[in-house]
Chain A
């Protein structure tokens, strides 16, 4: 590695070149942008932005504001506009990393053009690291906006470090404090940049922290940056479609006394502090710290080559080691050649890597050590929490690669320019993530989630109630209903949120719109559907709130209403006793029998059976309708042991209209493995219909529909799962809270 003395000047930053780099990255993201929503929180955030609603705690008010403004721009669909916000945020971060890298290189690269090449490498690597890229082409989280804040604060801190006694130095510090507060209003991770700013200030001008007027001004600015949280109680009082945590004391409409009330303050603080998720004790590790570091390393390997199915493990490991070594080398050259900015950037990398791994205290990763049995796992891969870590590491990896280039160039005995050119092929290493991640990171043409939402909603008869389980069988439906206006007559009730106090209240408050037969599937056009007069629950708010978190019964209980006599066996329920959500589901069934059809999504696994409702279960498409009396077998309703009955004509008609199977097969893969159960729901449904057709004496039809299911299984590489399991799809796992307290099985 070269060890040239530091130059005694810092050239003017190449803002124009950085802008071009940012635009190139943005073009890449636009090329690979999702045309609609995606799994997990994408639908929730698009819906929150569109309705100016409140997403899950802490509510992300700044993101909601930015997202809402994005939805007002005349650029494609609503989903595309919000996805573009993520793309633009990451592209801005890449442009700023360009400036940071150029600045470091300026201290020991005499020629400008190699500095620009090195800076471009930083932009390229940070933009194409898998998680950054994958999260930038669909707005699944608010973390790309956080990344932009990190980068802006980084650059401002670097500018301050350059001239801590300058004319604008104090203003820069106050602005940095404001942006940290504003970043927190986007996501609490916004504070992660603060320790690095503190270290940089202490390293460059320690007496700054004793300047009380400046410190006071910075604290005031920080407070101003936090004020977007005022959005939450104001919007919550208007009861938007998405109103998670319901941070308001206003029951019907906004008013002065209910807004400035103790209830509002308590609920708002509960949202900001994420009380819904419970407190974590960092001294109690959810997995060994070594395993938590192992999770970071697993996702680190993904960044340079996302090998979803383990087909190129050797190459992936080699690239991970290479980029780790380049990052370490980059950190060393950063330390040696630009100490001023290192005092910020080094602590930043440390904070968003080691400190974050410790603080997040994750269980084993969903994809980590798959052969390790008997350990608790996260329901999904959490690589997105380390997006900032991998993005910052990419800057160091680029510096390391630039240092390698320079070392090689110094060994070539030719002219000063030619030696750089002759050594340039080594820079192709920087293109490896771009090439290796393209197929997996790109979400271009991905429409399966949107189709899934339409398919599931259309499986429900007009004005029906649909019971779902978690994120992926719920959030896409929220998106379809609230953003696209699809099947707003259906009430979606997700069991994981029924355990909270606010969600059932919101469900009862939600207006039911008239069914639009022209936009609905043809199977419902054979009759007129009347809008029910009564709400889905007639319980008062006080009665709803009084439903207990659980009932301490362990023996089978009889649920009897109308023609239903169901034996609910608590031992078959997830927690061994009936919990609040189970009680509300049964209440929904009781109050709506003969008024509204109640469906349980087929993504809920054995929930129908756990509630003792199998004799009343009639599968229609992707959901199971609960009938008011035991289903009788005939030519159209085919009994399937362990499932109930299958409504064959209805299910076949729905199947023909489903859009997701084609979308999944066209994509040819399912990158996010923890959500693959959505795809396998189609496979299970096809196999189930095949079995029903077989029993009906239609083997050719059975074979045809099974083949369609197998095509989905092959496209998502899940065939083995079904060869072992049979027709029942695995339940969808969710990330939503269960409410507190929930007893465990005694």
Chain B
């Protein structure tokens, strides 16, 4: 449960930072953060105990 919470927190942070960077016009860090969260961190969090 603790592992899941940690992963959810990191995933949420990556999404928030990613969209914030995107709104500022960034096209490098923003997509990296968003992809890392959507295809990596969120699935891991959903599966974590």
What residues of chain A have their CB less than 8 Å away from a CB belonging to chain B? 51-52, 62, 65-66, 68-69, 72, 168, 171-172, 174-175, 178-179, 182, 221, 224-225, 227-228, 230-231, 234-235, 238, 254
Chain A residues within 8 Å of B22, by CB? 231, 234-235
Q: Is B34 an interface residue (CB 8 A)?
A: yes
| Candidates A69, A72, A221; contact of B46 at CB < 8 Å | A221
Q: For the complex, what is the distance from the CA of A168 to the CA of B43, rounded to whole Å? A: 13
- 9 A-B pairs with the lowest CB-CB distances in the bound complex, closest first: A68-B31, A52-B27, A175-B46, A69-B35, A65-B31, A234-B22, A65-B35, A69-B31, A238-B25
**What total of A-B pairs shows CB separation below 8 Å?**
48
What residues of chain B have their CB less than 8 Å away from a CB belonging to chain A? 15, 19, 22-23, 25, 27-28, 31-32, 34-35, 38-39, 42-43, 46-47
Residue of A nearest to B30 (CB): A52
The answer on a CB contact under 8 Å between A68 and B19 is no
Chain B residues within 8 Å of A254, by CB? 23, 25
CB distance from B26 to the nearest CB of A (A): 9
Chain A residues within 8 Å of B39, by CB? 66, 182
Q: For the complex, what is the distance from the CA of A234 to the CA of B31, rounded to whole Å? A: 12
Residue of B nearest to A177 (CB): B46
The answer on a CB contact under 8 Å between B46 and A178 is yes
Contacts A65-B38, A234-B22 given: A179-B31 contact, CB under 8 Å? no
CB distance from A199 to the nearest CB of B (A): 22
CB distance from B9 to the nearest CB of A (A): 15
Given contacts A182-B39, A238-B25, 4 further A-B contacts (CB under 8 A): A51-B27, A72-B32, A228-B38, A234-B22
Q: For the complex, what is the distance from the CA of A254 to the CA of B15, rounded to whole Å? A: 19
| Candidates B23, B25, B32, B43; contact of A179 at CB < 8 Å | B43
Chain B residues within 8 Å of A228, by CB? 34, 38
Chain B residues within 8 Å of A68, by CB? 27, 31
A–B Cβ pairs within 8 angstroms, 18 of them: A52-B27, A62-B38, A65-B35, A68-B31, A69-B31, A69-B35, A72-B28, A72-B31, A171-B46, A172-B47, A174-B46, A175-B46, A175-B47, A182-B38, A225-B38, A228-B34, A228-B38, A238-B25
Chain B residues within 8 Å of A238, by CB? 25
Residue of B nearest to A172 (CB): B47
Chain B residues within 8 Å of A234, by CB? 19, 22-23
Chain A residues within 8 Å of B35, by CB? 65-66, 69
The answer on a CB contact under 8 Å between A171 and B47 is yes
Chain A residues within 8 Å of B28, by CB? 72
CB distance from A205 to the nearest CB of B (A): 19
Chain A residues within 8 Å of B23, by CB? 234, 254
Contacts A69-B35, A231-B22 given: A178-B42 contact, CB under 8 Å? yes
CB distance from A226 to the nearest CB of B (A): 11
Chain A residues within 8 Å of B31, by CB? 52, 65, 68-69, 72
Q: For the complex, what is the distance from the CA of A224 to the CA of B45, rounded to whole Å? A: 13
Chain A residues within 8 Å of B25, by CB? 238, 254
Chain B residues within 8 Å of A171, by CB? 46-47
Q: For the complex, what is the distance from the CA of A178 to the CA of B28, rounded to whole Å? A: 25
Chain A residues within 8 Å of B27, by CB? 51-52, 68
Q: For the complex, what is the distance from the CA of A234 to the CA of B27, rounded to whole Å? A: 12
CB distance from A60 to the nearest CB of B (A): 14
Q: For the complex, what is the distance from the CA of A231 to the CA of B23, rounded to whole Å? A: 9
Residue of B nearest to A53 (CB): B27
CB distance from A331 to the nearest CB of B (A): 30
Residue of B nearest to A231 (CB): B22
CB distance from B40 to the nearest CB of A (A): 11
Chain B residues within 8 Å of A66, by CB? 35, 39
Q: For the complex, what is the distance from the CA of A172 to the CA of B47, rounded to whole Å? A: 7
CB distance from A419 to the nearest CB of B (A): 43
CB distance from B36 to the nearest CB of A (A): 9
Q: Which among A51, A168, A221, A234 has the greatest number of chain B C-beta atoms within 10 A?
A: A234
Chain B residues within 8 Å of A65, by CB? 31, 34-35, 38
CB distance from B24 to the nearest CB of A (A): 9
CB distance from A63 to the nearest CB of B (A): 11
Q: For the complex, what is the distance from the CA of A62 to the CA of B34, rounded to whole Å? A: 9
Chain B residues within 8 Å of A225, by CB? 38
Q: For the complex, what is the distance from the CA of A742 to the CA of B21, rounded to whole Å? A: 41
Chain A residues within 8 Å of B19, by CB? 230, 234
The answer on a CB contact under 8 Å between A224 and B34 is no
The answer on a CB contact under 8 Å between B43 and A178 is yes
Q: For the complex, what is the distance from the CA of A227 to the CA of B22, rounded to whole Å? A: 14
Chain B residues within 8 Å of A224, by CB? 42
Q: Which among B15, B25, B32 has the greatest number of chain A C-beta atoms within 10 A?
A: B25
Contacts A62-B38, A65-B38, A235-B22 given: A175-B32 contact, CB under 8 Å? no
Chain A residues within 8 Å of B34, by CB? 65, 228, 231
Q: For the complex, what is the distance from the CA of A545 to the CA of B45, rounded to whole Å? A: 47
Chain B residues within 8 Å of A182, by CB? 38-39
Q: Which among A65, A66, A72, A238 has the greatest number of chain B C-beta atoms within 10 A?
A: A65
Q: For the complex, what is the distance from the CA of A235 to the CA of B24, rounded to whole Å? A: 10
Chain B residues within 8 Å of A178, by CB? 42-43, 46
CB distance from B21 to the nearest CB of A (A): 10
Q: For the complex, what is the distance from the CA of A224 to the CA of B42, rounded to whole Å? A: 9
Chain B residues within 8 Å of A221, by CB? 46
Q: For the complex, what is the distance from the CA of A172 to the CA of B43, rounded to whole Å? A: 10
CB distance from B45 to the nearest CB of A (A): 10
CB distance from A93 to the nearest CB of B (A): 15
The answer on a CB contact under 8 Å between A175 and B38 is no
Q: For the complex, what is the distance from the CA of A254 to the CA of B21, rounded to whole Å? A: 13
Q: For the complex, what is the distance from the CA of A254 to the CA of B35, rounded to whole Å? A: 22
Chain B residues within 8 Å of A72, by CB? 28, 31-32
Q: For the complex, what is the distance from the CA of A68 to the CA of B23, rounded to whole Å? A: 16
